[in-house]
Structure 1
Amino acid sequence: MIETSKITLMMIAVVGLGQAAFLMLLLRHEGKRAFRANRWLMVFAGAACLSFIEDITDVILDARLVLLLAPLFMAAVFAFVPSIYLYFCEIADRPVQKPILHFAPLGPVFIAMSVVVWILFAQFVPDIIQQDGIEVEITLDRHLPLTVLIVAVFAALYIQLFIYMPKIWKVALGYLLQAKEQLGADQDALRRWTLEILIGITVIFVIFTLASLIDVFVADGTWLTTFVQGSFVLVFFRLCHLMASTPTLFVQAEWQQGDEDTVEQTDRGVSRENSGEFAPSDAARPFLDEEEVARIRDRLNRIVDETDLLFDPLLSLPKLASAVGATPNQLSYVLNQHLDKKFFDFINEARTREASRLLVEQPERTILDIATSVGFNSKSTFNLAFKKITGKTPSAYRQQNPEK
C-alpha cells in the first residue's frame, strides 16, 4: 500500500513536470534571437524535469531501479544554480566565455554517486531492500568510504549554492540598475520578470537548504520533499504565466554570417576590422575627425541594412556602440551632430520602417506579433512610437496601405 504522503508528492511532481515542460516549450517558441539567453532557463527547466521524474519513479518503480537512477538525478541537481547564473549573465550582456566549465561538477558527482550505488548493491542491498520491497535504514558508519562519498557530494552541493547565489544576486541587481538604458522594452515588465525569477529561485534554494537541515533530525522527511517540490511547481507556474503574458523580454540580436568577419567582440571590448584594428576606450574623446565619422556612419548603415541588431529589445547605446566599434560618447556625438537624431529616435525609426513593411506584406500577422518581432515589448509602446514617426496608428497604416 502506497503511503498518502508519497501519492501527494507524486501528484505534485506530475504537475511540476508538466509546468517545466510547458516552460521549455515557451522558451523555445521565442525563436533564434531569444535562444542565446533562454537556453540556460531551458537547462534549469530540464534539470527540474529530472527532479520531478525522480519523485515519480520513487513511487512507481522498484527500489532497485530507483537506486540505479540516483547518479543521474543527483548530478542534475548541480545544474540548477549555474544555469540561473549564466542566464542572468546573458541578459545583463555579460556572457561567460566558457559556460560549459560551470557544469564541470556534474561529471565527478555522477561518478561519485555511481560508486555509492555500486557499494550499496555490493554490500547493502540485501539489507536495504527486502523481498517484499520494504525499505530499511542504512547505517552509514558501517562503511567509511560510503559515508565519505555521500557527505562529500552533499557538501559540494551546499558549497555550490553559497558560491553562486551571491553572484546571481550581484549580476541581476547590476542589470536592474542599468535597466534605464534599455530601449523599447516595458521597464515594469522587465523589472518584474527579473525580480520574480530572482526572488523565486532564492526562496526555493532557501527552502531546500532548511528542509535538508531539518531532514537530518526527523525520521520521515517525505513531507519536506513535498514542500520543496511544491515550491518548484509554484515558481514554474508563475514563470509560465509571465512568459505567456509578456513574450520576448530577453532577446539577443542575431547576426548574419558575414558579420563575424567584420565585427569581433572580445572580453576587453575591442572591435577588429579586416582593414585594421580599432580599440576605443571609454575615456576616448567624443569629437572625431571626418574619417572616423565616416567610418562610424558606414558601420551604422551596414548594421541597419545587414543585421537585425536594432530589433534587439535590450539594445542600449553602449551595446550598439560596441557593435559599431566606438565608445558610447563617440556614437552619441555622431548621431546628434551628424545625423541630427537622438539614440532612441534613430532606433525607433529603423524599427518603425521595418514594422511598416511587415504590416503591408504580412497582413495575416497580428500587430503585437509584428511589434515584438521588431523589438517592442508592448503594443502600447509600439503604437506611440509608430504614430510619432508616421502620424498614423499601425492599424490605420495597414488599412490605408493594403497589400498589392
Structure 2
Amino acid sequence: MDTSEIVLLLIAAVGLAQAAFLMLLLRHEGKRAFRANRWLLVFSLTACASFVEDISDVFLSPLYILYLAIIFVPVTFVFLPSIYLYFREIADRPVRYPGGHFVILVPVAILTAVAVHIMRTRILPGDIGGEIDFELDTDIESHLPVAAILLTIIIALYVQLFGYMVKIWRVAIGYLRQAGEQLGADQRVLRRWVTELLTGISLIFLIFTATTIVDIFITDSQWLTTLVQGAFALVFFRMCHVIAHNPALFVQAEWDGAQEMAMDEDARDFTATGSRQTRFAPRNLVDADEISRICKRLDAIRTRSDLLFDPLVSLPKLANAVGATSNQLSYVLNQHLGKSFFDFINEVRTGEASRLLVNEPDRTILDIATSVGFNSKSTFNLAFKKITGKTPSVYRSETLSRRNPVL
C-alpha cells in the first residue's frame, strides 16, 4: 500500500465519519421534520457511497472494482434529486411521486452494465492480475461502444446538473420569501445559508464528476484522485457545519397565498380611521354581522379546539371550520385582526407553548414544539422569538426563576 492509498483511506474514513455525524444530527430535529430530512439522509448516503468506492479501490481486485461500477456510477445521479426534494419539503411543497426523480438510475445502471460487459469480454484480458490499464484515447475505434456509453452518461450528468439547479434555485427563492413572511427570518442570514448549501452541492457534484472523468481518461491518476476526493471531503465537511449551526426552517404551504397577499395590500391602503388612501374602494367581502360571527368562531376554535395545533392546518381547512370561505377568513384576519393567516396560527401555537414550557418544565422543547404543530425545533425557536422576543429556553428559565426565587 503506497502513500497515496493511505491518504485516500484517511480521507474516506473522515468523510464517512462526517456523514454519520450529519445523519445523527438530522434525527434530533423531530419526527415530523424527518419527512424532509430523509432526503438529506439519502444525500449523505450517496456521499458515503463515494467514500466506500475509494476504500474499495484500495482493497479490492480490479475485476471487482469494475463490477462495482454498476452500483457506483448510477449513485451519482442521486445527489441533485435528493436536494431538490429536500427543498420542496422544507417549503411545504412536497412532490407527489418522489420516486419518479430516481427513475433515471435504471437506464444508467443498464448502460453501465453493458459497458462493463464489453470491457470484460472484449477489451480486458481474461485473467486480470494487476491494474486495469484502459484509456479511451488509445485505439479509440476498438473501444467506440464503451466510449459512446461513457460519454452519454457524462452528458446526462451535466444535463441533470443544469436542469435540477434551475429548479432548486426556483424553490429556494420561494422558500426564502415564505420564511421571511411567516417567521420573520433574517433574510440576509437565510439567504447566506441557502447560498452556501447550494454552492456546496454544486461543488460536490462537479468534484464527483471530475473524479469519474479522471478515472476514465487518465492512467496512473492515484494522486490526482486523492486530491479531488480531499476537496470533496472538505466541501462536505463545510456543508455539515452549515446544517449543524443553521437547521432548516420549515414553512407552511401557501394554499391561498396570492389571495392573502392581495388582502395584505388592501389592508395597507387604509388609514387608521378606515378611509381608503387610493381612489379605489375595496371589495366588501363580508358585512359587519358576518365579521362579528367569524371573530367569535375564531375565538372559540382558539380556546376549545386543537385544530390550530395540527401541523397540516391550512387556510381552507380553518375557513371550513369557521364556516366561511378562504377569501372571507383572510379578509377578516388581515383587515380586522391585523394579522396574516400564518401570524395568527403561530401566535396561538406560541401561546400554548409558553404555557407548556412553564407548567411542564421536565418536558423537552422539541416535544412541546411538535405538540403545538411546529415541524422542527428551529422553526419553533424563530417563531417563538418573533412573538415573545425570547427563545423558548430563555423564556422558560426566566419565568421559572421568577416563580421560584432563590432565597
TM-score normalised to structure 1 length:
0.74
**CA offset at residue 19 of structure 1?**
0.9
Aligned mates of 2:133, 2:299 — CA distance in 1:
70
Q: Which moved more, 1:4-13 or 1:201-210?
A: 201-210
> For structure 2, which runs of at least 5 residues remain unmatched after alignment?
264-282
Q: How does 1:127-166 map to 2 (within 5 A)?
A: 130-131=128-129, 133-137=130-134, 141-166=141-166
Count of residue correspondences: 368
Q: Which moved more, 1:192-201 or 1:167-176?
A: 167-176
Unaligned runs of 5+ in 1: 254-264, 271-279, 313-318
Distance 1:200 1:327 in 2: 44
Aligned equivalent of 2:119: 120
Could you tell me how far 1:197 is from its partner in structure 2? 0.4
Residue 134 of structure 1 deviates from its aligned partner by: 3.0
- Identify the match of residue 354 of structure 2 among 353, 356, 369: 356
Distance 1:118 1:215 in 2: 18
How far 1:91 sits from its partner (Å)? 2.6
**Counterpart in 2 of 1:321?**
315
Residue 221 of structure 1 deviates from its aligned partner by 3.4
Q: Post-superposition shift, 1:43?
A: 1.4
Name the CA shift for 1:84/1:381 in 2 (closer, same or farther; >3 Å). Answer: closer
State the SS of the aligned residue for 2:40: helix
CA contact (8 A) 2:30 2:366 kept: no
Q: Secondary structure at the match of 1:360?
A: helix
Structure 1 residue aligned with 2:396: 394
Match of 1:21 in 2: 20
Larger radius of gyration: 2
TM-fit CA distance, 1:244: 3.0
In 2, distance between residues paired with 1:45 and 1:156?
22
| 1:10 paired to 2:9 | yes
Q: C-alpha deviations, 1:366-396, integer Å up to 9, x for none?
A: 66885687657386874573379xxx94323
Q: Which residue of 1 aligns with 2:86?
A: 87
Match of 1:101 in 2: 100
Per-residue deviation at 1:109?
Answer: 1.0
Using the TM superposition, give the Cα deviation of residue 59 of structure 1 relative to its aligned residue in structure 2, in angstroms. Answer: 0.5
Q: 1:307 to 1:113 in 2, by over 3 A?
A: farther
SS of structure 1 residue aligned to 2:33: helix
Q: More deviation in 319-328 or 164-173?
A: 319-328
Deviation at 1:201, TM superposition (A): 1.4
Q: How far has the Cα of 1:227 moved from its partner?
A: 3.6
**Percent of matched pairs sharing the same residue:** 51
- 1:4-403 → structure 2 map (5 Å cutoff): 4-126=3-125, 130-131=128-129, 133-137=130-134, 141-183=141-183, 185=185, 187-208=187-208, 218-247=218-247, 249-251=248-250, 287-288=285-286, 305-306=306-307, 308-309=309-310, 320-321=314-315, 323-324=317-318, 330-336=328-334, 339=337, 346-365=344-363, 375=374, 377=378, 382=384, 385-386=387-388, 393-399=395-401
Q: CA deviation at 1:124?
A: 3.6
Q: Deviations over 1:11-61 (max 9, x none)?
A: 212211111122122223322221222222121111111111111111011
Contact persistence 2:207–2:232 (CA under 8 A): no
Deviates more, 1:342-351 or 1:83-92: 342-351
Distance in 1, Cα, partners of 2:388 & 2:260: 35
Secondary structure of the equivalent of 1:33?
A: coil
Query: How big is the shift at 1:177?
Result: 4.2
Once the 2 structures are TM-superposed, how far is the Cα of residue 208 of structure 1 from its aligned partner? 4.7
Distance in 2, matches of 1:86 and 1:359, equals 33
- Which deviations, in whole Å up to 9, do the C-alpha atoms of 1:80-127 show, x marking residues without a partner? 111112222233333323221111110111122122222333334426
Question: 1:328–1:219: structure 2 CA closer, same or farther, 3 Å change rule?
Answer: farther
Distance change >3 Å, CA 397–CA 223, structure 1 → 2: same
Determine if contact 1:383/1:394 at 8 Å carries over to the other structure. Answer: no
- RMSD between superposed Cα atoms in Å: 4.1
Mapped partners of 1:122, 1:216: distance in 2:
18
Q: 1:384 to 1:95 in 2, by over 3 A?
A: closer
